[in-house]
Amino acid sequence: MQAPTETGQPRTGTCRVCAGPVVQFLDLGRQPLSDHFIEPGEIGTEFTYDLLVGQCSACTMVQLLEEVPRERMFADAYPYRSSGSAVMREHFERTARDLLDGPLRGTDPFVVEIGCNDGVMLGTVRAAGVRHLGFEPSGQVARLAGDRGITVRNAFFEAATAAETRAQHGPADVVYAANTMCHIPYVESILKGVDALLAPDGVFVFEDPYLGDIVDKTSFDQIYDEHFFLFSAGSVRAMARHFGFDLVDVQRLPVHGGEVRYTLARAGVREPSAAVGELLAEEDARRLTDLTTLRRFAANVTRIRDDLTGLLRRLRAEGRRVVAYGATAKSATVTNFCGIGPDLVEFVCDSTPAKQHRLTPGRHIPVRPPAAFAEPYPDYALLFAWNHAEEIMRNEQAFRQAGGAWILYVPEVRVV
């Protein structure tokens, strides 16, 4: 599993949080940009990198050992849309209402979102008449947010842009980020920016995939270029303290296969909730950040790869048709690590227009609109968007009625 160096040892690196030593425990192979769906003429030109995962021996932060330049990942044509799922739209509406009923209840409150995407969360904030600003570096989705009436800045959030925002708009009561903090290796600049922008009693709230759920479910596809960090409560607390903050609250979330919402405040300003101590104790009891636990996770990843490719090859040999459902960013990790291409999966159905009629990153499986799924139905559908399984299966009941079956690989390979 581990990519050896010339001396036969796993690679090491330097922690982007505390500068401690990072030791590799998982090698997911050479990978392309996970959200770069290409035209046929672009085959052979893709950027690739080594997807290696390690852990800091000092602060326990799990992180990638190779950083992909942010301008490559979040270019103008970045295709992901936060509002593309009904489940996620409802989630962000609830999130906005929670903020409006909580830290944004004061006089003339101000909220800043890091990575606001198409403005789905800030839309509810705007409708409530609350001052807001979204940072979104990808041009196309920033323009979508602007078209919805969201105040958006097409730029990366960092120390310099945060200071400019403070000078122009005043302090923020809340800085919020969803599925964004884990993307950002330059965490020092982010937290210095948060420190410069927040009001004295303001809070920084962010939610990202949770290491505990990834380990429990062996959901290794949550690891890709955009997910530089895999957070636990322990590593977030260490990160917060390193930059003068406290971890004051945590909340488990069911979305995206399991996330945690973390709330940070300036050191000594707020008393940590009971939930913080409970989650830290749970992580200690299960030895979540022990290298032994993480190496066992790596071994489970290998087992799932072998089980999934074995099943797909058997179905192919039997003459069965298999297509995939959901051209997700995380599916790039699965297809490239497992060696799944058009020889095993005919095409992928996806509702995102920017991905349709293109090829998946690295393995070049054709992406087709949802209508292709029923023309005619395949025998099996490999569900890459497994975190939306309930919503998808509810919408595709006719597939089951026609005799089709779903292939899932989280937490284990199975046919349902």
Helix (H) or strand (E) holding 71: helix 70-73
Start-to-end CA distance of the chain, whole Å, equals: 29
The confidence band for 86, taking pLDDT boundaries of 50, 70 and 90, is confident
Which architecture, in CATH terms, is 82-292?
Answer: 3-Layer(aba) Sandwich (3.40)
pLDDT above 60 (res 75): no
pLDDT above 80 (res 215): yes
Q: How confident is the model at residue 2, as a pLDDT? A: 38
| Residue 22 β-bridge partners | 13, 56
Q: How confident is the model at residue 9, as a pLDDT? A: 72
Residue pLDDT, tens place only, 152-180: 999 999 999 999 999 999 999 999 999 99
Q: What is the mean pLDDT of residues 57-63?
A: 98
The confidence band for 300, taking pLDDT boundaries of 50, 70 and 90, is very high
Structure-block tokens of residue 338: 């497992």
Q: What is the mean pLDDT of residues 245-273?
A: 96
pLDDT above 50 (res 17): yes
* DSSP structural state of residue 238: H
- DSSP labels for 337-356? HHT--TTT---EE-S-TTTT
Q: Which residue has the tokens 């949080």?
A: 17
Mean confidence (pLDDT) of the chain:
93
Q: How confident is the model at residue 227, as a pLDDT? A: 94
Beta strands 131-135 and 110-114, pairing class: parallel
pLDDT above 80 (res 78): no
Q: What is the mean pLDDT of residues 182-202?
A: 96
Q: How confident is the model at residue 84, as a pLDDT? A: 66
Single-letter amino acid code for the residue at 323: V
Q: How confident is the model at residue 32, as a pLDDT? A: 96
Q: Is 184 helix (H, G, I), strand (E, B) or coil?
A: coil
| Residue 371 β-bridge partners | none
Residue pLDDT, tens place only, 368-398: 999 999 999 999 999 999 988 998 999 999 9
Residue pLDDT, tens place only, 62-72: 999 999 987 77
The confidence band for 80, taking pLDDT boundaries of 50, 70 and 90, is low
d(CA 349, CA 383): 10
Q: What is the mean pLDDT of residues 276-305?
A: 98
CA dihedral over 25, 28, 32, 37, signed as positive or negative? negative
Closest residue by Cα to residue 322 from 331, 332, 309 = 309
pLDDT above 90 (res 88): no
Around Cβ 71, how many Cβ atoms within 10 Å?
A: 10
| Residue 406 β-bridge partners | 381
Residue pLDDT, tens place only, 91-136: 999 999 999 999 999 999 999 999 999 899 999 999 999 999 999 9
The length of the chain is 416
Around Cβ 306, how many Cβ atoms within 10 Å?
A: 12
Share of the chain above pLDDT 70, in %: 95
d(CA 63, CA 185): 9
The confidence band for 6, taking pLDDT boundaries of 50, 70 and 90, is very low
Closest residue by Cα to residue 259 from 34, 26, 88 = 88
Structure-block tokens of residue 170: 């005043």
